[in-house]
Amino acid sequence: MRRLISTGPLFLFAVACSDPPPPDDPGTSAELPPAIMGEGGSLEGTDLQYVDGDTRTTGYLAVPGGEGPFPALVIIHEWNGLQDRVRQLADDFADEGYVTLAADLFQGRTGANRDENIALVQEAQANSDAMIANLNAAVAYLKGRSDVTGRVGAMGWCFGGGVALSFGLDGVNHEATAIFYGRLVDDPEVVAGLDHEVYGTFAALDGGPSPESVAAFEAALRAAGVEHDLHIYDDVNHGFWLRVDEDPDVRAAPAADAWQRLKDYLERTLVP
């Protein structure tokens, strides 16, 4: 089912994510968060303007029940902007016990097709300093909450996966970076800037990043002495984890394994 790779100031250009087809009825999986099965419910969180002086940037905040304190996550959307599936996933992470802020890197805008998505990505990446500042503000907001332990992780998918890696290299101090099929680097001197273990989930049938790119990334992490947990899953392609419902017979088992690895990783890095 999978191929084990290892355990153990740059901004990256995005790779294209597939636009999802209309969901059908894929059934259920108790092992996976409902959002990635296309079964996310009504939104339970709240919109949040977390960048000082910016009324257009609107993230989505989901908070666990109870008093806490809780560890926290910043999750980073794909190339089409902050959509409801990512908001629903923030609710799922809150159910797992993480105060979760879904960041907005496109100032409230979303794309409806490939051309619009590319335009949004290019506009955002033309000012990479502003993107890093945006995520710095998200981390600062979370660390300033009385119900947060002070430990924060960042993760993203596709465009957001590459951004998460860039933020791990260039952003303010945070304690975890999780990458789902995002753009990678292979320079040990660059990845040496990471000061925490890195998680990565990738697909054998993906061309962006390809398995060869993942292997080069792993080699750079190893050379730099950065702890990491990277897997390439066979028989799946780009985008498989966030949209299991597109092909549940193929995607559900590797997605469940990646989910368990992710939960273990977050436990190691964010839970005291």
Q: What is the pLDDT of residues 236-265, one digit of tens each?
A: 999 999 999 999 999 999 999 999 999 999
**Residue among 245, 271, 198, 218 nearest 33 (CA):** 245
Of the pLDDT bands very low, low, confident and very high (cuts 50, 70, 90), residue 272 is: confident
Cβ partners under 8 Å of residue 64, min gap 6: 70, 94, 95, 96, 97, 98, 99
Residue 14 has a pLDDT of 43
Please check whether residue 163 is in contact with residue 156, taking contact to mean a CB–CB distance below 8 angstroms: yes
Rounded Cα gap, residues 77 and 174, in angstroms:
18
Q: Which amino acid is at 50?
A: Y
Q: Which domains does the chain have, with CATH numbers?
A: 2-17+28-270 (3.40.50.1820)
Of the pLDDT bands very low, low, confident and very high (cuts 50, 70, 90), residue 108 is: very high
Q: What is the mean pLDDT of the chain?
A: 90
Which token pair is 21?
Answer: 């087809």
Rounded Cα gap, residues 198 and 186, in angstroms:
14
Rounded Cα gap, residues 58 and 71, in angstroms:
22
Please check whether residue 60 is in contact with residue 105, taking contact to mean a CB–CB distance below 8 angstroms: no
Note the pTM of the prediction, 2 decimals. Answer: 0.90
Please check whether residue 163 is in contact with residue 194, taking contact to mean a CB–CB distance below 8 angstroms: no
Query: Span 6-13, mean pLDDT?
Result: 42
Distances (CA, A) of 221 to 190, 198, 203, 261: 9, 9, 19, 19
pLDDT tens track for 189-240: 999 999 999 999 999 999 999 999 999 999 999 999 999 999 999 999 999 9
Of the pLDDT bands very low, low, confident and very high (cuts 50, 70, 90), residue 173 is: confident
Please check whether residue 77 is in contact with residue 105, taking contact to mean a CB–CB distance below 8 angstroms: yes
Rg (C-alpha) for the chain, rounded Å, is 17
Rounded Cα gap, residues 176 and 161, in angstroms:
13
pLDDT tens track for 151-164: 999 999 999 999 99
In DSSP terms, which residues pair with 157 in a beta bridge?
A: 180
DSSP state of 56: S
Query: Span 19-29, mean pLDDT?
Result: 40
Residue 17 has a pLDDT of 55
CA angle 238, 18, 241 (to 5 degrees): 45
Which token pair is 45?
Answer: 């969180």
Residue 107 has a pLDDT of 95
Distances (CA, A) of 193 to 198, 218, 228: 12, 15, 14
DSSP state of 233: E
3-state secondary structure of 193: coil
DSSP state of 44: -
Query: Span 115-128, mean pLDDT?
Result: 95
